[in-house]
Amino acid sequence: MRAVRNDDGGVIRVPVGARNVEPGARTLLLVKPGISLKRPVTFAWYAEVMAAWECTEGCWTNVRIFKLTIDDGTLVDTDLLVPQARKTEHECAMRLKVRFPRPNGRYEYLHRLVAFAFPPQGVGTHERFGDYAEFSRSKYQADHLVDADLVARPSMAIAGWLDPILPAVHKAREKLRQQMREARDRAEEVQRRLDRGAAALLALEDEERGLLATRRSLKRQRALRDNRCRAKRLKAVVEESRAVEVQAVATTWDIQAPGDLSGLAGWQLGLPDGDVEYGESLLIEFDQAIGFSPHDRKRAALFARCRQSDLLKLRSPLD
C-alpha cells in the first residue's frame, strides 16, 4: 500500500485508483472576457501542482489556482487565489474554496477544480469538456477516493486523488463503500465476540464454582441466578457468531491468490456500467489489506459472507 508523508510528519495512505501528478503540471481551467481599469481584457484561470502540500485550517492541498489578466495578448497581471477553509451545515469536514467565477456564487470548491484539472485517469478532463464552465454545467462532481481502509479525506484537495464523476455514479460508489464498511464492521464484531466470548464464559464458570463453594444463602442464590442468566445470554451470542463464521468458511469462495476475487459469487457491486472497474479495484485492495495468512483467509471469507447478505443479526450485546 503506497503512502505519503505530510508536512506534519503524518503518514497518509494513497487512495485506491489515485495517481501521482508531478509538481509543475498545469491545466487551463477557464478563459473569459472582462474589464480591468476600464479596458477590455481577457481573464484566464489555471491550476498548477506544487512541490509540497500546504495546510489551511486543517485542510490540505498541493494545487494552487492562478488568475491571469491579459491585455491585447500581453500578460499584465497574475494573481494567486488563496484558498479559504469553509464548512456548511450539511458538511462533516472543512473544505477549501477559492474565488472563482461560477453562476451561483463567487467561490468554488477547490476539490472540484482539482478533479477537473488533474483526474486520476490521467486523461485531461478539459479534452472531454472544453473548459471548467462546461464541466460545471454538466453537473459533474468530485469523488474523494478512499484507501483500502475505506477512509475518505474530504478536507484534502490533492492532484490525482479526486475523480470527476456524475452524481448517480458518486451515489452508487458511496453506497458500495458504505456496504463494505458495514460488512467489515459485522465481520470484526463476529470475530471479537468469538475471541472475547469464550474467555468471558470461562470467567463466568469460575465465578459460579466460587459461588458454589460458599455457604448456601439467599444472596448466593441470587448471585447464581444472575450468573447463569448472563452465561445463557453470552452462549447465545457466541453460538450465533460461530454459526456465521462456520457458514462463511463452508462457502466455496475459490480465492486463488491475493487480490483474486473472481470466485466471490454474489458480490453485487451495484455500480453503473463503466464504473465497475473502480469497484473491483477497491475490493481487491481491501482484500489485500486483510492479508492471506490462514487466520486472515478465514477473516476474508467472513467479510465476504457479511458483505454478501444481511445474515448477521446479533441480538445480545457482548459486554
d(Cα 140, Cα 165) in Å, to the nearest integer? 5
Please check whether residues 142 and 249 belong to one and the same domain.
no
CA-closest candidate to residue 100, choices 124, 117, 87: 117
What DSSP character marks residue 54? Answer: E
Kindly state whether residue 202 falls inside one of the protein's structural domains.
yes
Please check whether residues 42 and 95 belong to one and the same domain.
yes
Please check whether residues 97 and 217 belong to one and the same domain.
no
Element (H, E) at 186: helix 167-212
Domain final residue pick, 121, 144, 165: 165
Number of domains in the chain: 2
Cβ–Cβ < 8 Å for 65, 47: yes
Please check whether residues 125 and 192 belong to one and the same domain.
no
Kindly state whether residue 232 falls inside one of the protein's structural domains.
yes
**Confidence band for 291, pLDDT divided at 50, 70 and 90:** low
Q: What is the pLDDT of residues 92-127, one digit of tens each?
A: 778 999 999 987 778 999 999 999 999 998 665 666
Domain final residue pick, 141, 165, 189: 165
Report, in angstroms and rounded to the nearest whole number, the Rg of the chain calculated over CA atoms: 27
**More confident position, 310 or 48:** 48
Per-residue pLDDT, 212: 79
Kindly state whether residue 129 falls inside one of the protein's structural domains.
yes
Average pLDDT in the 15-30 region? 93
Domain final residue pick, 139, 165, 191: 165
Please check whether residues 114 and 148 belong to one and the same domain.
yes
d(Cα 313, Cα 299) in Å, to the nearest integer? 18
Element (H, E) at 36: strand 26-36
Model-level pTM? 0.77
Kindly state whether residue 197 falls inside one of the protein's structural domains.
yes
Q: What is the pLDDT of residues 130-164, one digit of tens each?
A: 899 999 999 999 999 998 888 899 999 999 999 99
Please check whether residues 107 and 244 belong to one and the same domain.
no
Kindly state whether residue 90 falls inside one of the protein's structural domains.
yes
**More confident position, 55 or 312:** 55
Please check whether residues 161 and 186 belong to one and the same domain.
no
Kindly state whether residue 318 falls inside one of the protein's structural domains.
no
Angle between helices 294-308 and 276-290 (to 10 degrees): 140
Please check whether residues 95 and 192 belong to one and the same domain.
no
Q: What is the pLDDT of residues 251-267, one digit of tens each?
A: 655 544 444 444 443 34
Please check whether residues 138 and 202 belong to one and the same domain.
no
Please check whether residues 34 and 121 belong to one and the same domain.
yes
CB atoms within 10 A of CB 255: 18
Cβ–Cβ < 8 Å for 226, 206: no
Kindly state whether residue 286 falls inside one of the protein's structural domains.
yes
What range does the domain containing 108 cover? 3-165
Q: Between the CA of residue 155 and those of 27, 93, 144, what are the distances in Å? A: 22, 6, 9
d(Cα 318, Cα 315) in Å, to the nearest integer? 9
Kindly state whether residue 77 falls inside one of the protein's structural domains.
yes
Per-residue pLDDT, 118: 94
Q: What is the pLDDT of residues 52-92, one digit of tens each?
A: 999 999 899 999 999 999 998 889 899 999 999 987 766 77
Please check whether residues 130 and 249 belong to one and the same domain.
no
Average pLDDT in the 227-239 region? 81
d(Cα 273, Cα 36) in Å, to the nearest integer? 47
Please check whether residues 106 and 219 belong to one and the same domain.
no
Percent of the chain with pLDDT over 70: 77
Per-residue pLDDT, 261: 46
